[in-house]
Amino acid sequence: MKRELFGTDGIRGKANEGAVTAETVLQVAMAAGAQFTRGEHRHLVVIGKDTRLSGYMLEPALTAGFIAVGMDVVLLGPLPTPAVAMLTRSLRADLGVVISASHNAYEDNGIKLFGPDGYKLSDEVEAAIEARMAEPAELAPSNKLGRARRLDDAIGRYIEFVKMSFPKGLRLDGLKIVVDCANGAAYRVAPTVLYELGAEVVPLGVGPDGMNINKDCGATKPLLMQEAVVAHGADIGIALDGDADRLIVACEHGQVVDGDQLMALVARAWQESGALRGGGLVATVMSNLGLERYLEGLALALYRTPVGDRYVVESMRERDCNVGGEQSGHIVLSDYTTTGDGLIAALQVLAAVIQSGRTASEVTRLFDPLPQIMRNVRINGGAPLEDQRVQKEIEAAKAALGNAGRVLIRKSGTEPLIRVMAEGEDEAKIGALVNHLVETIDAIARRG
């Protein structure tokens, strides 16, 4: 079965257009509800969202769809994606739903689905849901309709869950921490967790208005956080994205530390304590060669997957690894979570800083990354990567770098883009290769 609605991280697009309309998500809810209706028990779905204006449209549409097929609904309100995954398991729900477009601008929105085990659905299950959407909905009789209610203590449950992941006996007393919540789903929980663990907190991005999520702030635009770290003399800065499953850090000098460095830090700390499993960590094809070489020096492996934290998690489960993630800051620590959790990852970084007795800049920079350049080519349909001229130029670029670098070309799973990336020791050389590939792909794409 083929997936058309679902991308690398659920359904995503412009709100009130295409796949992200009230009508479509109503159908998704009815199909997903039917897919996960198994047995004679009272079936339950939990729904969380971020702070986008369009969440007010999609939440009731989803609720109506699930109720129509006989599922009870628990509404969580604005809450991080990993909180929904946790509560799906905690409440013994049959399905978890997050209304979010993650790091995208407010105009976009989307749907992420979690199974009863708290893990994102496989490609096969998503394809099965799409197939059900093509058939008449399996509506419940009037006496079997579901009911909806709100879980008033959802925020408190997640706060306590996150705090339990911090090593016992440690506190954040004496640390000044800037935390940028991107005007998104973590705007209440993140500052609260840090404060209750003892930190002096400088909160940013905690005034969502439905349209300012990720706007010039958060993990994808960390400059605001970087400047605040320096201005306030903070020890460290933390930036989350709109649904708080992504983490970017800044040291006390305001310099950014990406997901590759953070994964290396956690993996080394857990290796030293005997907690690391699987003989290495799982990351995507986007992670820097510098990370791979650093891990080799620790006698650890780097297992690569396609882009998407769902694929990272699948590989982690297969290999029994408990550390994985993406360069972009999705970090999965499976001792605690089933998906990326920016706040839990941040606490592990903070624990490493505290236990070392050194500054964040000394602790979080473990290797020198190789120069890596990525550019995007916007496309309007078509398949330029299948063109023989494009394939020939890609192979030529790979041959030019040999073992001294990498070339990676892929379609985005969330936007109409082709991403062109190269890395190697010679920055000028990889820059020229990327520019040439971008020009070639763009020319073919324009011809249709």
Per-residue pLDDT of the chain (448 residues; tens, 9 = 90+): 567 899 878 999 999 999 999 999 999 999 999 999 988 899 999 999 999 999 999 999 999 999 999 999 999 999 999 999 999 999 999 999 999 999 999 999 999 999 999 999 999 999 999 999 999 999 999 999 999 999 999 999 999 999 999 999 999 999 999 999 999 999 999 999 999 999 999 999 999 999 999 999 999 999 999 999 999 999 999 999 999 999 999 999 999 999 999 999 999 999 999 999 999 999 999 999 999 999 999 999 999 999 888 899 999 999 999 999 999 999 999 999 999 999 999 999 999 999 999 999 999 999 999 999 999 988 887 788 888 888 998 999 999 988 888 898 988 876 788 999 999 988 999 999 999 998 888 888 887 6
Q: Which residues contact 111 (CB under 8 A, 6 or more apart)?
A: 10, 11, 12, 20, 25, 28, 58, 62, 97, 98, 99
The answer to the question of residue 234 being in a domain is yes
pLDDT per residue as tens digits for the range 365-424: 999 999 999 999 888 877 888 888 889 989 999 999 888 888 989 888 767 889 999 999
Residue 85 CA to residue 52 CA, distance in Å, equals 19
The verdict on 348 and 426 lying in the same domain is no
Domain-terminating residue out of 364, 392, 422: 364
- CATH number of the domain encompassing residue 411: 3.30.310.50
Residue bearing tokens 């990889």: 430
Residue 443 CA to residue 417 CA, distance in Å, equals 14
Number of domains in the chain: 4
> Positive or negative, the Cα torsion across 424, 428, 431, 432?
negative
* 102 annotated active-site: yes
The verdict on 170 and 247 lying in the same domain is yes
Structure tokens at 378: 């916007």
Q: Which residues are bridge partners to 301 per DSSP?
A: 280
The verdict on 333 and 219 lying in the same domain is no
Using alpha carbons, select from 97, 128, 131 the residue that is nearest to residue 112.
97
Residue 228 CA to residue 383 CA, distance in Å, equals 43
The verdict on 65 and 143 lying in the same domain is yes
Residue 182 CA to residue 208 CA, distance in Å, equals 8
Do 343 and 189 contact (CB within 8 A), yes or no?
yes
The verdict on 269 and 349 lying in the same domain is yes
pLDDT per residue as tens digits for the range 146-185: 999 999 999 999 999 999 999 999 999 999 999 999 999 9
Which residue type occupies 428? Answer: A
The answer to the question of residue 1 being in a domain is no
The answer to the question of residue 202 being in a domain is yes
Q: Which residues contact 209 (CB under 8 A, 6 or more apart)?
A: 183
The answer to the question of residue 94 being in a domain is yes
The answer to the question of residue 62 being in a domain is yes
The verdict on 34 and 51 lying in the same domain is yes
The verdict on 86 and 19 lying in the same domain is yes
**φ and ψ at 68, to 5 degrees?**
-65, -25
Do 33 and 66 contact (CB within 8 A), yes or no?
yes
Residue 1: its pLDDT value, please?
56
Which residue type occupies 111? Answer: I
Residue 98: its pLDDT value, please?
98
- CATH number of the domain encompassing residue 347: 3.40.120.10
Tell me the longest C-alpha to C-alpha distance in the chain: 69
The full 3-state SS of the chain, as one line of letters, equals CCCCCCECCEEEEECCCCCCCHHHHHHHHHHHHHHCCCCCCCCEEEEEECCCCCHHHHHHHHHHHHHHCCCEEEEEEECCHHHHHHHHHHCCCCEEEEECCCCCCCCEEEEEEECCCCCECCHHHHHHHHHHHCCCCCCCCHHHCCCEEECCCHHHHHHHHHHHCCCCCCCCCCCEEEEECCCCCCCCHHHHHHHHCCCEEEEECCCCCCCCCCCCCCCCCCHHHHHHHHHHCCCEEEEECCCCCCEEEECCCCCEECHHHHHHHHHHHHHHHCCCCCCEEEEECCCCHHHHHHHHHCCCEEEEECCCHHHHHHHHHHHCCCEEECCCCCEEECCCCCCCCHHHHHHHHHHHHHHHCCCHHHHHCCCCCCCEEEEEEECCCCCHHHCHHHHHHHHHHHHHHHHHEEEEEEECCCCCEEEEEEEECCHHHHHHHHHHHHHHHHHHHHHC
The verdict on 295 and 386 lying in the same domain is no
Residue 444: its pLDDT value, please?
84
User: What's the angle, vertex CA 438, arms to CA 432 and CA 440, rounded to 5?
Assistant: 105
The answer to the question of residue 6 being in a domain is no
Domain-terminating residue out of 223, 255, 287: 255
The verdict on 117 and 232 lying in the same domain is no
What pTM does this model have? 0.90
Q: Which residues are bridge partners to 378 per DSSP?
A: 417
Of 54, 90, 100, 102, which is the active-site residue? 102
Do 339 and 309 contact (CB within 8 A), yes or no?
yes
Residue bearing tokens 């849901």: 129
The answer to the question of residue 115 being in a domain is yes
The verdict on 395 and 377 lying in the same domain is yes
The verdict on 94 and 106 lying in the same domain is yes
Q: How far apart are the first and last CA of the chain?
A: 27
Residue 27: its pLDDT value, please?
97
The answer to the question of residue 4 being in a domain is no
CB atoms inside a 10 Å sphere around CB 448? 9
Residue 186: its pLDDT value, please?
98
Residue 3: its pLDDT value, please?
75
Residue bearing tokens 């209706």: 37
Query: 439 is in which domain, residue-wise?
Result: 372-447
The verdict on 275 and 342 lying in the same domain is yes
Residue 370: its pLDDT value, please?
92
Domain-terminating residue out of 343, 364, 385: 364
Q: Which residues contact 400 (CB under 8 A, 6 or more apart)?
A: 429, 433
